[in-house]
A and B are shown apart, each in its own frame.
Chain A
Amino acid sequence: MLYSKNGSIPKPETDDTPGWVAVGDPPTPAEGLEVVWWDPPGWIVRPPQPEPVEGFVWKWSQTDRRWVDCELNPPTPEPISGE
């Protein structure tokens, strides 16, 4: 049995403080999918993040159940002398 408190990542043991709720074991994802803890609703199965697109970042919309590409607005980089 796994337990979560206020959406914390499920663990097999609690710390005996109030608020822990039992959650099910993570489902076994179909091939090509991944399972992650996303509260709410809990364990979700989703496709892996798509390949990066320059100038955008993929973000998971749990409301829409899909990856959405969001425009990335990094600060203007300064020239880097090299790592």
Chain B
Amino acid sequence: MPQLCTFGASSARGFGLTEETGLTNDEQFNLTTLLLPGNGTNGAQNNTFLDSSTNNLTVTRNGNTTQGTFSPFSFGGGTAQANGYYSGYFDGTGDYLTVPSNAAFQFGTGNLTIETWLYPTSLPNPFQTIIVTNNNDTSSSGIGIWAKPTREIQVYDFNTLSSIFDTSGFNLPLNAWTHIAVTRSGSTFRLFKNGQLFASTTNASNFVPTSSTWIGGDSVVGSGNQPFFGYISNLRILKGTALYTANFTVPTSPLTNITNTSLLTCQSSQFIDNSTNAFAITPVGNSQPTVVNPFGMTDWSGYFDGTGDYLTVANNAAFDLGSGNATIEAWIYPTSSGQTCGIFDKRSSGANYSQFPQIALVSGAFVAYVSYSGSSWAGTINGATPVANAWTHVAFVRSGNTWTLYVNGAVSGTPFTASGSVYTSTDSLVIGASTTTGTNAFAGQISNARVVKGTAVYTSAFTPPTAPLTAISGTSLLTCQSSTFIDNSPNAFTITVNGNAYTGTLNNPFNSTINYTTPPLQAWSNYFDGTGDYLSVASNAALGVGSGDFTVECWIYLTQNFDATGQGVVTASYNTNFAAIGTNSGAGNRIDFYVANVILTSGTNYISLNTWTHLAFVRLAGTTRIYFNGVQVASSGSLTGTGAAAALYVGTLSHDLNQEMTGYISNVRLVKGTAVYTAAFTPPTAPLTAITNTSLLTCQSNRFVDNSINQFAITRNGDTSVQPFSPFNPDAAYSTTSVGGSGYFDGSGDYLTVADNTAFEFGSGDFTIEGWFYALSVASDTTIVSKWTATGTANSNSWLLFVTSGVATFLTSTNGSAVDVNISGGTVTVNSWNHIAVSRSGNTYSLYLNGTRTATTTNSNSLADVATVVAIGRYSGGTFGYMNGYISNARIVKGTAVYTSAFTPPTAPLTAVTNTQLLLNYTNAGIPDATAKNVLETVGNAQISTAQSKFGGSSMAFDGSGDALILPASQNLALETGNFTIEMWVYGANNGGTVGGSYPRLFSLGTVQTTGSIESYNAAGTLYVEIFGSSITFTASTLLNSSWNHFAISRSGSSVKAFVNGTQVGSTLTNSTNLNRAASSTSIIGASTASTGNFNGYIDDLRITKGYARYTANFTPPTSAFPLL
């Protein structure tokens, strides 16, 4: 009988300690959809809006406008990418940059330096332009640098019309970063690759170009020919300085504006020149700044040529391993077989015994030794022979008194047991040779060499790490993993490089050769409601899995069973490419995976409803495997067909778009050419990144985008939404600076105003207006920021940034009445964050949507000076243009065009840059949601009170008359068909309030007394927990008795239980109703409606958990505040 197995509850993170409370982190924090700690200032509400500019202007609230923590960076934005950690992306079709002709590029016969990092994705043409300083004008004597399909770098002298360098063997890698530098010192030209001198020659030409400089493309015939395909980062030109004349250490951080810098670009969120010259850079085509950059990577390797190349580290107590556990490991890539050489050693002479566990190759095979006495070996292990020209992981581990050698994770040779302390003395540690003088030098590459003192990292066979190593606790040394030889352990020991050992990414044991130094945390998902919702990507060869290895993966949180026909998860033509199709067999939800019309099914291995499950479909060397949460559930050697180009769909079937699934999907990744998982694995605990060969990476951002290098357009269908709900836990608790907040405008009477001020009179000067918005609808005009009352009304209009007919639009008026400038472009996406910006630079107006310039025009007129107020979320006057949704980080800058070309939208809350006149960060909520998923309204006198508190010195107070907290409709609060927990501390005053025409309610998720809602209320002394139509009841005074009591409701399966102070009250209710009402209607805390059924008392630490029953039996109530992450 086949084993029935159901998968679910993918655990995304282990435990740790919070600095704030000392509590254990909440492993279910990612499932927590509302957390109100109730801490703050006495009397605080959500109604006062602050201007964070230095003007500190008064912001007036109108209607029910409120603010909270839901933002474009709701644990999904990450740390702001610092200047310098960017690159320019050139797609090979018409993308390039131009810089005006200037004497700064006329080197004459003097010294010069041109350097940059390159990440070519292909080299298909005879020439791929990196930079040409004379627009390829053969009559203008400049310099040209190209990458060629032979992987050479050609440097060309337009003075003599001959090559300076065009030498084979440079071997520029694809899909990896390489630093190149060209310098001239006197008459000596040098070409460096990753800090190593590759070639030198003599050239004394007089370079005096008189035409513009082009980057990423040149104009030998027309515009943008000979384009570059890939990324260029930190391009710097120095006039008068030969920065490098000998081998050097490649910079590990962005280049800076040093003396004689003529140009410094491709290193910011916009294409700007960070040199003192600040040249205007004109992007052509759709060249795009990206956060991809060459810094901070730890997948580099050390290159050793076998003749005098090795590393030494001065003796230190960190290498005295004593008698404790220890782990010494590395990846090695020997470039020849049969070597006898050292990998790890510690001795000055081959006649001595190593003062450290020794790993060596003897006649090509691993041998590991340990000496305790310094005069004999305590034990020796003869291990396997690594394959030449391939990566092999080796680890030598002491666990107790047993030493074990692991090769590629398998026990190799015979472990030995010996008690005692490892011999130690004062010689330096050696990597890549046997002695401190370089005896028995290794030929090949070594990557991620790590020494861990005190821990046996491996105690049985294991799968070698698939990502670079990190400095875990006890790490004494961690090297051969960065762009230079440094120690990434906390010790930061100095590494001495002997010979000409160098580092590179050409070859490494990982798949990660593209990098986000401070990775924007892509912890979002998309919600598909089962009715018309899906995403689509146009057909492209990159989406065809081909005939080789591949990986398709995602996380799924299914809220409704698949049907028997089959519904799409990720599909791209089951008969010509691949498709992952969910089907309900009657016993459970299985996944069928197709390649070229051949099926592999998960069979009786099912995925659970209402929990995150990681799915992976991997083909490795002809064998295709399905993994659920890293566990292999099916495999077959029959899926060997070739996957051809096809349109790809998420959430429905490619061959029947009406077969939509219901639930959430997060982090969809297609990697063509790589089997990311070769055996059982632990699912990733952080959002996926665009590793090498990634063809698609989506369903992970605050908007619908593909984060792979392909940047495919993602088309949203139906009302698919972006949701701050994911398998991942944040690394840090909410903060106003890293997450920020937003204002909520309900589309009916809500807006903010700021009085007329000269700060908003732009005249004919530069300015920038920008903001983020998450609109729930844009059926009618939707305003972001306005100084505009009504077109045609005299003396009332100056400028208006809004969305009309679904398109981003900006208007100005010169006479205060009629429209002057009218630019529009870019269709906004509802249920998704959009970044919108308009700027005026000189007479050029540019409108941007999500960093892309969607419209531009020129106009020299001066904007009207009118007395109209500035309004956010509505026209300044009348009743037009209400925003239905959220606005975040609205900023007005007068005197600066912050954006002059395409840019990467901000990855962190905006700040008051120079000339900022108004900045609304919406971070002054008195009652914020610590999950950063909700914005709630404090109605009446609902407020923070220090009069009563369970934890934190304050709580949320409700006076029994007109007080409530109201939450807009939210998918997060829809508990749907799954497990859940609702809990809070309650202090009921006066029995919790007066039982009048409507019963006092503690809460209602969804409109009270409607299908799909859950609520709790006091009906004449009886406390009800009601899932509409079915209730648990108990005596109200058990809970509402003028003292703090913990109240919890949880559903596990179909069993719903209520608990007071950890003891079940009332009967268990059997109910599996789909609690979806809160997705379409408001929810409320402390009342039935704003003015009826008002609770009297205090609530502290209210928490809602979706998909997880924290309590299934009597329990000890929490003894401290809930963790904030």
Q: Which residues of A contact B (CB under 8 A)?
A: 4-11, 13-15, 17, 19, 38-41, 57, 59-64, 68, 70-75, 77-78, 80-81, 83
Q: Which residues of B contact A (CB under 8 A)?
A: 41-45, 47-48, 50, 58-64, 747-750, 753, 869, 879, 924, 926, 941, 943-944, 946, 953, 969, 1007, 1009-1012, 1029, 1080-1081
A72 to B63, CA, bound (A): 12
**With a CB–CB cut-off of 8 A, which chain A residues contact B45?**
7-9
**With a CB–CB cut-off of 8 A, which chain A residues contact B879?**
68, 70
CB–CB B47/A4 < 8 A: no
Also in contact, A39 and B47, with CB within 8 A (given A8-B944, A59-B749) = yes
Please list the 3 inter-chain residue pairs (A to B) with the smallest Cβ-Cβ separation, ordered nearest first.
A7-B48, A70-B749, A8-B43
CB–CB A39/B748 < 8 A: no
CB–CB A40/B47 < 8 A: no
The one of A7, A71, A83 in contact with B924, judged by C-beta atoms closer than 8 angstroms, is A7
CB closest chain-A residue, reference B954: A15
Also in contact, A40 and B1081, with CB within 8 A (given A6-B44, A7-B47, A9-B943) = no
A8 to B946, CA, bound (A): 13
Apart from the given pairs A6-B41, A6-B926, A70-B749, 10 other A-B contacts in the complex at a CB distance below 8 Å: A8-B926, A9-B943, A13-B42, A15-B41, A40-B58, A62-B61, A63-B753, A64-B62, A77-B1007, A80-B1009
Judged by DSSP, the binding face of A is loop
**With a CB–CB cut-off of 8 A, which chain B residues contact A80?**
1009-1011
**With a CB–CB cut-off of 8 A, which chain A residues contact B1012?**
78
CB closest chain-B residue, reference A79: B1011
**With a CB–CB cut-off of 8 A, which chain A residues contact B63?**
59-61, 68, 70
A19 to B750, CA, bound (A): 27
A58 to B782, CA, bound (A): 21
CB–CB A39/B48 < 8 A: yes
CB closest chain-B residue, reference A40: B58
Also in contact, A9 and B60, with CB within 8 A (given A15-B946, A59-B750) = no
Judged by DSSP, the binding face of B is loop
**With a CB–CB cut-off of 8 A, which chain B residues contact A61?**
62-63, 749
| Residue of A10, A15, A72, A74 with most chain B CB atoms under a 10 A cut-off | A15
Nearest chain A CB to B931 CB, angstrom units: 22
CB–CB B748/A83 < 8 A: no
**With a CB–CB cut-off of 8 A, which chain A residues contact B748?**
57, 59, 70-73
* A–B pairs, 10, beta carbons within 8 Å: A8-B944, A9-B43, A11-B43, A13-B42, A57-B749, A63-B869, A71-B748, A72-B748, A74-B1007, A78-B1010
A27 to B44, CA, bound (A): 21
**With a CB–CB cut-off of 8 A, which chain B residues contact A38?**
47, 61
A29 to B497, CA, bound (A): 82
A78 to B62, CA, bound (A): 31
A33 to B1081, CA, bound (A): 33
A21 to B747, CA, bound (A): 33
CB–CB A4/B43 < 8 A: yes
**With a CB–CB cut-off of 8 A, which chain B residues contact A64?**
62
A81 to B64, CA, bound (A): 31
A72 to B953, CA, bound (A): 38
Also in contact, A73 and B747, with CB within 8 A (given A6-B41, A8-B41) = yes
**With a CB–CB cut-off of 8 A, which chain A residues contact B62?**
59-64
Nearest chain A CB to B629 CB, angstrom units: 36
CB–CB B50/A6 < 8 A: yes
| Residue of B42, B47, B59, B926 with most chain A CB atoms under a 10 A cut-off | B42
Nearest chain A CB to B1066 CB, angstrom units: 19
**With a CB–CB cut-off of 8 A, which chain A residues contact B1080?**
75
A10 to B941, CA, bound (A): 11
**With a CB–CB cut-off of 8 A, which chain A residues contact B749?**
57, 59, 61, 68, 70
CB closest chain-A residue, reference B942: A9
Nearest chain A CB to B105 CB, angstrom units: 53
A9 to B969, CA, bound (A): 27
A9 to B46, CA, bound (A): 11
A41 to B58, CA, bound (A): 9
A40 to B59, CA, bound (A): 7
CB closest chain-B residue, reference A7: B48
CB–CB B1009/A5 < 8 A: no
CB closest chain-B residue, reference A14: B42
A8 to B45, CA, bound (A): 6
Nearest chain B CB to A38 CB, angstrom units: 8
